[in-house]
Amino acid sequence: MKYYLYARKSTDEDDRQVLSIEAQLTELREYAKKENLTIADEYVESRTAKAPGRPVFNTLIEAIEHGEEAGILAWHPDRLARNSVDGGKIIYLVDTGKIGALKFPTFWFEATPQGKFMLNIAFGQSKYYIDNLSENIKRGIRQKLRRGELPSRAPVGYLNDTRTHTVVKDPERWEAVRRLFLAYADGDKTLEYLQKLSLSLGLVSRGTGKAIALSKLLDLLKNPFYYGLIKHKGELYQGSHEPIIS
């Protein structure tokens, strides 16, 4: 039987302790040699498995669905799926005989009722871990908002202080932001004028270094963060940061 090797690594917080792609490939190739497994192809992906839609994984599944019986070699079941849809696909293909075997250096599996039951549990544990992690993140965000802390990247004119995990004024840009608001408060300036003014004040797009796009400039001028409030999902919270304008 031929085997397809699948290695995946994402940048998720929970994936930081997982072997790198290179380490997975080395371990899996050595395991295949030890077990006398024939690797027909290798599929490598750097993407989260929280939700369906991984292109490389889908290509692997299509190859199995339209080909002869094959096996999959991966480091652990959670490399294959961390969501119910992809996990269900794997189990269904095992049930229909399209996947003849699943091999993991860190997990035992055989295509028996007991083996499929244990595989289902492994996929369920992976999904539970992701769901629980998501809830912990949401709880942490709510707690930060209660303390008046911004749970995201600081807007123009402020900096994220990684030492204290707070938001502080950017000494190089906050005065420029204040002058932009003062010009806006006159009531007779167009967005195009304010865009040129922001450029002359050194306020540029972080990504390109060019003038701030008009839509982004409008978002800046409407952001209540500059007068002390934090807007999150349509709700306003009192911030603990120092306002730039009244």
Q: List, for residues 73-103, the tens digit of each pLDDT value.
A: 999 998 998 888 999 999 999 999 999 999 9
pLDDT at 124: 76
pTM of the complete model: 0.54
Adjacent-strand bridge partners of 72: 4, 102
CB 245 within 8 A of CB 227: yes
Q: Confidence class of residue 182 from pLDDT cuts 50, 70 and 90? A: very high
The rounded distance, in Å, linking the Cα atoms of 19 and 27 is 10
Q: How high is the mean pLDDT of the chain?
A: 88
Which comes out higher in pLDDT, residue 215 or 164? 215
Q: Confidence class of residue 122 from pLDDT cuts 50, 70 and 90? A: confident
Question: What φ, ψ does residue 45 adopt, rounded to 5°?
Answer: -145, 140
Mean pLDDT of 7-22: 72
pLDDT at 131: 66
Mean pLDDT of 38-42: 95
pLDDT at 205: 80
Show the CA angle centred on residue 118, arms to residues 116 and 119, nearest 5°: 60
Mean pLDDT of 61-78: 93
Q: Which of 121-130, 176-185, 203-212 has the lowest mean pLDDT?
A: 121-130
